[in-house]
Structure 1
Amino acid sequence: MSRGNADLVAECLLTSPECIQDKTVDRQNALHLAVLHDRFEVLQVLTGWIQRMSQRNADSIEYCNLCMDRRLQQAAESGSINDLYALIDENPCILENIDAMPFVNTPLHIAAASDKIAFAVEMLNLKPSFAKKLNTNGCSPLHLAVEKDQQELVTWLLRIDPSLAGVKGREGITLFHLLVLRGNVDLVVECLVTSPECIRDVSVTGQNALHLAVMNERFEVLQVLTGWIQRMSQKNARSIKYSALNKMDLTGNTPLHLAAYKNDHQMVRLLLDCRMIQQNEINGEGLTFLDILRRQGQIDEGGDLEQAALKTGCKEAASLPKLVRGYDFFKSPITFWAYCSTHTRRISSDTSDEARGVFLIICTLLITATYQTSLQPPGGVNQSEGHAVMKQTFFIVLWVSNTIGFCCAIFYTFCLLPARAFSVSYRVLCLVPAFSSICFDGSFPKAMAEASDGST
């Protein structure tokens, strides 16, 4: 084995299959030795043969060779770190062998289910990948800890690695989702504080944390979620808020639709009070939130809930304007403004970040120079009469060229700015050409008047 003779290894397996179960005094089997001596070809032969075994007890032999040592399992259950390192001393690859399997109960799973915090933290330090590995039931170690109500252990591990809140298990349910389902408000807050991006995670059915809170009647959790969403201040907070509140699942239902189906007036009022909630979204059945309430007879005509819904702008699907489909937009003829908009976006997307920075500096200098020229024309301004000193012809040429240069610089600045900057920059930059236009309009008539007076 240590010599890596694959031919003779295969011969031994064929003539004496039971040799695969033999172990050294260090309790190392053939797979351990192949890994320790870097015999990849031999390891291929061994694993291939094990998976093709057909003799009696083949499944148990395969499991024993590939899975966790029983003593390691006992160490995890008892939380004995000393026993763990004794086993590592016997076989340095003991954890690597477990990690090589795609779905397995790791020592971290066992420690998490047994509430052995110190052992779990030690295992997380040794093999961080165990924290995100799923067992054959689709559960990560923290999923098991939540199911066993090991709150302190979950808190410790989340503080060590906040990204564990987003580990997806069976059906795409993350640790954060599981905490929402169980109504554990304290740990829900812990996840939101340590890993804010977990609010965006969705299950395989397209449901986020708000959907799950509504479906499982977790009103207190929903209060926490909506309160946190409306207080977000991190990057892209507005888009995250909009997406979380109005996310549609696979059936086209938002959390507000589900609250209407559940006939939970508390949740309905809570969601309606959220800013950016889209109360007139149409679900997969072609119904709005108000349609669902009325069709199921959940509100009295003229009642408080209906009045509250109407006050926030809720409408029936029949009264909403017809939605424009995506293909209708592409079928429509291209207008002049659409062409300009497309050209502007192309300039922005085709320009590298380095070139963008250089061009923005140049445009800024041009804007500054042309703006200053409008305030202080060449030759100065007559102090007593307040108009330009230069002749009319030269002033007109200067005014036209200066205006063209100024407008072009403004236009290319808009083209070069990233799309996300338009909302703020548009309002700021629009003040500049407006004020400059006033200067131009004030200077030009005075120059014309001066020229007329001179000619008479």
Structure 2
Amino acid sequence: MDENLSAAARTGNVGYLYRLIRLDGNALRRFDDVEFVDTPLHIAAEAGCIGFAMEIMNLKPSFARKLNQDGLSPMHLAVKKGHVEMALRFVEMDKDLVRVKGKSGKTPLHLISKVGNRDGLLDRILEVCPECIPDVTIKNRTALHIATKNNRLDVLQVLIRMLRKKDYDREVVNRKDEDGNTALHTAATTNQPQILKLLLDCNADKHATNLDGSTALDVAQRQNNREIIGILRGCSIPRVSNFKHKLEKQTVKYLTKASSIIFSDMDNISGDDRNALLVILGLLLTATYQATLSPPGGVCQDESCAKPTKYIRNALGTSILPQYEFLMFYVPTYVVFIVTFFLTLALLKPFPNGFRTALQVLLAFFVICFHQSIIIIASAFSTVMVINTLSAIVFILMVFMCITYELSKISVSIVGYRIFTELWPSFPNMLHLSDEETTVVASVILGLFLFLFLFDKFWQGTILVVGYGLGVGLILLRVGNAGFYTQTFLISSGSWFFFNLCRICIKGCIRAYFSFNCFH
């Protein structure tokens, strides 16, 4: 490089740069002909001359992606030298500069993961370009591998927080390097308890094996890292945990195959097509819901058109259609609603995690309202049971979708909770239970259901139980008696807290047991 141009870049003298350009109009062009070279942008980035660097970026944007003889881009150099403001200006002008791969396939993000999160640089970069997190080096290592190896807890916390927002935490956290090691293996090797706990909280698979067939626990045992062994063993009972892992693996395997058949090419739909489909599906949901509220022939307006039965307490507002015709109209309507509902859920997958979860919860309440509307209009007990059966199928399909298609657990729980309370009153006669026994059994089952499904989401489960209880309370203000629903709420909420208390105690005992064995 011309010494004068180099000096101008090192001192940040923009005026001198333009004097050199006036003397030689091709002063910057020759850098394009060299594959690996220190451009004036590299020198300015290393020296921290922001004004000069931005001027060069404006004149020659291609320089930002060039690598020097050390395999580093200007962005790499800015990060390496700790010029935070320079790095941020680069990202503002072109967010993909953080994904430029240099020596060993390392991106600027990988360098940040090694040197640390200086002045919140990582937070601000990930806000602009969260897609850079899954990028790997030539050794197939992610930023999580590098942060774990270098004991950068601050970096790991920011990375995992963003991964959770983007909903591919499990995929990235369990990514294996060229030796088959996940970040959890690395944490076990380097004896980092805090990082290990953070990874486990982010769905790190402790059963994952490397090329030697070793899990993170095997690695810790070979190195006799007692604290790490205690943490990995204390997560659960070994045999139960292994059985659960195998069961989950097989379940996910088969459900993923089924999901890929049903929702094939759904992820490849363009943004414009996706938006158009969501509008169409929204219209279908609205039309089917409106059809339930306005059945053919209308509804009973007085007691003369129908008589209350054992299961239909108030004939007013029920459909005047005969049972057969009622089912012939509502079953196809329900099928259309179900298909439209699940297609809508599938199309929401690329949406941001928080926004998508909120929409899924709203749709769950919408399903409940749709279900309840048909139940109120139905004029026969057998018709109600058919509709309840269809709703139960919806819940089962939502569970499958929760496992394979990132459907929120809380939305599935809302539907399951409501459907169960609708179905349960029909079982006591079959089981020959008294009213008190019916209430206790139903409540314990509800509590157990919530615990099994939301055991890792304590606060969400608690909000669901309390919210349901408040809803029941509002109903009781009008009905005027406690009855089945109040008792169900009280005992199911008690069961929910009891099961969680047991879980906490069991985990604490297991952790204490293994910690005691490790140190003695």
Give yes or no for TM over 0.5. yes
Q: Which has the higher contact order (CA 8 A, sep 6+)?
A: 2
Give secondary structure in 2 for the equivalent of 1:191: helix
Deviation digits for residues 300-342 of structure 1, max 9, x if unmatched?
Answer: xxxx55443333238489765389689x969xxx9xxx5xx67
SS in 2 for 1:428: helix
Matched residue SS, 1:200: coil
Indicate whether 1:118 and 2:41 are aligned. Answer: no
Contact 2:133/2:143 (<8 A) preserved: yes
Residue-by-residue CA offset, 1:100-130 (whole Å, 9 max, x unaligned):
4332221111222334333223212222221
Residue of structure 2 equivalent to 1:237: 165
1:98-137, aligned counterparts within 5 Å?
98-137=31-70
1:403 aligns with 2:321: no
Matched, 1:225 2:156: yes
| 8 Å CA contact 2:207, 2:215 repeated in 1 | yes
Task: Pick closer, same or farther for the CA change 1:120–1:362 going to 2, 3 Å.
Answer: closer
Cα distance between partner residues in 1 of 2:217 and 2:179? 17
Q: CA separation in 2, counterparts of 1:307 and 1:295?
A: 14
Aligned to 1:288: 215
Question: 1:417: how far off?
Answer: 1.8
What pairs with 1:69-88 in structure 2 (closer than 5 Å)?
69-88=2-21
Aligned partners of 1:264, 1:358: CA distance in 2, in Å?
51
Query: Is 2:141 the counterpart of 1:204?
Result: no
Partner of 2:263: 345
Structure with bigger helix share is 2
Mapping 1:253-264, distance limit 5 Å = 253-264=181-192
> CA, structure 1 residues 134+323, in 2 after alignment: closer, same or farther (shift >3 Å)?
same
Which shows bigger deviation, 408-417 or 254-263?
Answer: 408-417
2:234 counterpart letter in structure 1 = K
Aligned to 1:97: 30
The 3 A distance-change label for structure 1 pair 161 and 315 is farther
Contact 1:104–1:136 (Cα < 8 Å) also in 2: yes
Q: State the alpha-carbon separation in 2 of the partners of residues 350 and 96 from structure 1.
A: 40
Equivalent position of 1:139 in the other structure = 72
The structure-2 alpha-carbon separation of the partners of 1:276 and 1:83, relative to structure 1 and needing over 3 Å to count, comes to same
Pair 1:131–1:407, CA change in 2 (3 A) = same
2:177 equivalent in structure 1: 249
**Structure 1 residues without counterparts, runs of 5 or longer:** 1-67, 448-456
Match of 1:373 among 275, 279, 295: 295
Q: Which residue of 1 aligns with 2:341?
A: 414
Distance 2:340 2:206 in 1: 38
TM-superposed deviation, 1:99: 2.6
Identity of counterpart residues, as a percentage? 30
Choose the corresponding residue for 2:303, options 343, 359, 382: 382
Paired residues of 2:144 and 2:156 also in contact (CA < 8 A): yes
| Equivalent AA in structure 1 for residue 343 of structure 2 | L
Give distance in 2, aligned partners of 1:71 and 1:182.
Answer: 33
Q: CA deviation at 1:198?
A: 3.3
Letter in 1 for 2:303: N
> In structure 1, how many angstroms separate the alpha carbons of the residues matched to 2:125 and 2:278?
39
Q: Point out the more displaced range, 198-207 or 345-354.
A: 345-354
Instruction: State the AA in 2 paired with 1:258.
Output: T
State the alpha-carbon separation in 2 of the partners of residues 98 and 203 from structure 1: 27
- 1:78-108 deviation line (CA, Å, top 9, x unaligned): 4332221112123333323323433222111
The answer to whether the 8 Å contact 2:160/2:202 transfers is no
Distance 1:168 1:348, change over 3 A: closer
CA 1:99/1:313 → structure 2, altered by over 3 Å: closer, same or farther?
farther
How many angstroms does 1:170 deviate by?
1.0
Q: 1:314 to 1:141 in 2, by over 3 A?
A: farther
TM value normalised by structure 2: 0.58
Q: Does residue 173 in structure 1 map to residue 106 in structure 2?
A: yes
Q: Aligned letter for 1:367?
A: Y
Q: Which residue number in structure 1 is paired with residue 517 of structure 2?
A: none
Equivalent in the alignment of 2:511: none
Q: Flag the 1:405–1:321 CA change in 2: closer, same or farther, 3 A.
A: closer
TM-superposition CA deviations, 1:358-401 (whole Å, max 9, x none):
35413421332124329x83564427954379998x52343122
* Deviation for aligned residue 1:174: 1.3
Inter-CA distance 202–76: structure 2 relative to 1 (3 Å threshold): same
Distance in 1 between the 2:79 and 2:318 partners?
A: 82
How do 1:151-190 residues align onto structure 2 when only pairs under 5 Å count?
153-154=86-87, 156-158=89-91, 161-183=94-116, 185-186=118-119, 187-190=121-124
Specify the alignment match of 2:474 in structure 1: none
Maintained 8 Å contact 2:64/2:73: yes
Aligned letter for 1:396?
Answer: Q
Residue 236 of structure 2 is aligned to residue 313 of structure 1: yes
Question: Is 2:225 the partner of 1:298?
Answer: yes
The alignment yields a C-alpha RMSD, in angstroms, of 4.1
- Report the counterpart of residue 510 of structure 2 in structure 1: none
Letter of the 1:311 counterpart:
G
TM-superposed deviation, 1:445: 5.2
**1-structure distance, mates of 2:57, 2:39:** 11
8 Å contact from structure 1 (residues 214, 258) kept in 2: yes
Q: 1:248 to 1:359 in 2, by over 3 A?
A: same
**C-alpha distance 314-419 of structure 1, shift in aligned 2 (>3 A):** farther
- Equivalent positions of 1:6-25 (< 5 A) are none
Q: Give the Cα separation in 2 of the matches to 1:228 and 1:127.
A: 32
Partner of 1:35: none
8 A contact 2:113–2:146 mirrored in 1: yes
Measured in 1, the distance between the counterparts of 2:122 and 2:319 equals: 74
Q: Secondary structure at the match of 2:219?
A: helix
- For residue 141 of structure 1, report the CA deviation from its aligned partner: 1.8
Structure 1 SS opposite 2:67: coil
Q: Quick check: which has more Rg, 1 or 2?
A: 1
Q: What is the identity, as a one-letter code, of the residue corresponding to 1:222?
A: L
Paired AA for residue 125 in structure 2: C
Give the partner amino acid of 2:134. R
Check the 8 A contact 1:377/1:388 in 2, yes or no.
no
Structure 2 residue aligned with 1:271: 199
Distance 1:228 1:70, change over 3 A: closer
Which runs of 5 or more residues in structure 2 are unaligned? 308-313, 350-356, 384-520
- Structure-1-length-normalised TM-score: 0.65
